[in-house]
């Protein structure tokens, strides 16, 4: 739970020595509370005070690291119940399940396909993070072989699922140095699995039937020294899992330490569409790790899209770099389209230009990541900003014409842009979807 400036001030020496670079201890405390400086900037704070502040200011949900190197995933450290209050910090790690009952080639092929589940959306790559190997056979040798194949073929970090602690030990040893998430599915074996997790330096996931049992189990594991812990409430199905995940987050944010760990959820049932519905719901409502059987691109893309939307900062619009972009084999006769640097606006225009097969230049004007109408209403998309972007693009020396196309929704800007830039202005369609038809009907070989 976040500490106030006064809470921090009570633990400081109160000498106003200025060694931290600030005029008073109170000013320093306020800076620490807002995370503008670290506590270590005070050279005189006592060890006891530093320890007390560190314990009290620990995020309500433990940070857990899964995997190593490029495959590393961090979950936890969340501080909010509602995204609009600040933001959600660590995107849900999505894991697709593989059974060790499959034959070796099937495991390799499925793992490789899981590793390829990556897409580009609004200029960013979204992908599956983990491959989950389920010890359905109960055989340690089969699990060991399966995790080796899955890790190698997918290139992803692993979730290793088993009801036997010794099977987890063999699998963890086979993945030595890769730091898999060891998921003990039998609560009775959880303490034995904790010993494996400590010996192998791996995070541990455990489940229990209900939140009371889960809190009791996590407290026992904490006493055993396991801090890298992920909790599965043991529920299956949309309604009970949603209720359990929500209750876990609420209790964790109230500083109930026994549930202050990242949550794991599993999609259930054989209906492939419901797998998607459940996955999207658990991503939106607090699952830090999602394990699913959904493996087709049409199933995974909605889940990853929901994750991308939920885990963007609501106070910072998703934006592309404000500059000149070229689509296709542009030349001196190619049209010049103007839009804002809001990602959705830019990529809508770019995709429609590609669909039209008419090469074109696109100028993304710096509007601080806001859309066309929002930027126009806030005077960030106007004759001056458009002209500035046009001149910075250097297009004037490269084109045989001096015409640009502005969005139809801001046709009112045309006269001002012509006066400010000296270029002719054409009014394009209001929606990006109208660009292919518009571009095909225009002739761009215009005299200067």
User: Are 229 and 255 a contacting pair, CB within 8 Å?
Assistant: no
User: Are 22 and 33 a contacting pair, CB within 8 Å?
Assistant: no
pLDDT digits 0-9 by tens, 31-52: 887 767 777 889 898 888 887 7
State the pLDDT at residue 446: 43
State the pLDDT at residue 443: 54
CATH number assigned to the domain covering 64-310: 3.20.20.20
pLDDT digits 0-9 by tens, 127-175: 999 999 999 999 999 999 999 999 999 999 999 999 999 999 999 999 9
Domain ranges of the chain: 5-56, 64-310, 324-441
Across 224-229, average pLDDT: 94
Phi and psi dihedrals of 290, rounded to 5? -115, 125
User: Are 61 and 77 a contacting pair, CB within 8 Å?
Assistant: yes
Confidence band (pLDDT; 50, 70, 90) for 417?
A: very high
Q: Quote the mean pLDDT of the chain.
A: 92
Distances (CA, A) of 64 to 17, 52, 206, 231, 310: 38, 22, 14, 11, 20
Q: Which residue has the tokens 């059987």?
A: 293
State the pLDDT at residue 448: 39
With a pLDDT cut of 90, the percent of the chain lying above it is 79
Phi/psi zone of residue 427: left (φ > 0), alpha (ψ -120 to 50 degrees), beta?
A: beta
Across 41-67, average pLDDT: 82
> Quick check: helix, strand or coil at residue 154?
helix
Give the Cα separation of 336 and 89 in Å (integer): 38
Of 34-43, 331-340, 406-415, the poorest mean pLDDT is in: 34-43
Give the Cα separation of 100 and 135 in Å (integer): 6
List the Cα angle 39/41/46 in 5-degree steps. Answer: 60
Give the Cα separation of 87 and 89 in Å (integer): 6
CATH number among 3.40.50.300, 3.10.310.10, 3.40.50.11600, 3.40.50.150, domain 324-441: 3.40.50.11600
Q: How far is CA 166 from the centre of its chain?
A: 34
pLDDT at 1 over 60: no
pLDDT at 249 over 80: yes
CATH superfamily of 5-56: Electron transport complex subunit B, putative Fe-S cluster (1.10.15.40)
């Amino acid at each position: 739970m976040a500490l106030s400036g006064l809470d921090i001030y009570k633990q400081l020496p109160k000498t106003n020595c200025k060694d931290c670079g600030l005029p008073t201890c109170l000013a320093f405390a306020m800076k620490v509370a807002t995370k503008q400086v670290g506590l270590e900037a005070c050279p005189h704070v006592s060890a006891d005070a530093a320890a007390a502040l560190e314990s009290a200011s620990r995020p309500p949900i433990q940070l857990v690291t899964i995997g190593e190197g490029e495959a590393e995933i961090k979950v936890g450290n969340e501080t909010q119940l509602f995204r609009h209050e600040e933001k959600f910090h660590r995107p849900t790690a999505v894991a697709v399940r593989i059974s060790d009952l499959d034959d070796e080639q099937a495991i390799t092929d499925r793992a490789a396909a899981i590793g390829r589940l990556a897409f580009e959306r609004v200029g960013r790559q979204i992908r599956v993070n983990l491959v989950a190997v389920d010890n359905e056979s109960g055989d340690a040798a089969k699990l060991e072989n399966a995790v080796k194949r899955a890790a190698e073929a997918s290139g992803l970090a692993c979730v290793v699922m088993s009801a036997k602690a010794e099977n987890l030990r063999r699998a963890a040893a086979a993945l030595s140095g890769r730091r898999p998430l060891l998921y003990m599915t039998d609560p009775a074996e959880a303490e034995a699995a904790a010993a494996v997790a400590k010996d192998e330096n791996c995070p541990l996931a455990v489940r229990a039937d209900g939140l009371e049992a889960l809190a009791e189990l996590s407290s026992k594991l904490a006493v055993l020294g396991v801090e890298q812990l992920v909790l599965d409430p043991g529920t299956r199905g949309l309604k009970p899992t949603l209720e359990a995940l929500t209750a876990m987050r609420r209790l964790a944010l109230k500083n109930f330490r026994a549930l202050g760990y990242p949550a794991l959820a599993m999609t259930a049932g054989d209906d492939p569409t419901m797998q998607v519905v459940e996955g999207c719901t658990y991503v939106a409502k607090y699952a830090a790790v999602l394990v699913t059987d959904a493996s087709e691109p049409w199933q995974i893309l909605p889940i990853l899209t929901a994750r991308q939307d939920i885990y963007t900062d609501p106070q910072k619009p998703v934006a592309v770099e404000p500059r000149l972009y070229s689509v296709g084999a542009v030349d001196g006769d190619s049209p010049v389209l103007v839009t804002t640097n809001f990602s959705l606006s830019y990529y809508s225009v770019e995709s429609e230009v590609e669909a039209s097969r008419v090469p074109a230049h696109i100028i993304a004007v710096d509007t601080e990541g806001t859309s066309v109408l929002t930027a126009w209403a806030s005077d960030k998309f106007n004759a001056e900003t458009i002209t500035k972007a046009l001149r910075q693009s250097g297009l004037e020396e490269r084109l045989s014409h001096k015409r640009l196309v502005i969005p139809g929704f801001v046709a009112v800007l045309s006269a001002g842009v012509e006066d400010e830039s000296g270029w002719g202005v054409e009014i394009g369609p209001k929606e990006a979807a109208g660009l292919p038809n518009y571009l095909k009907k225009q002739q761009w070989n215009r005299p200067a």
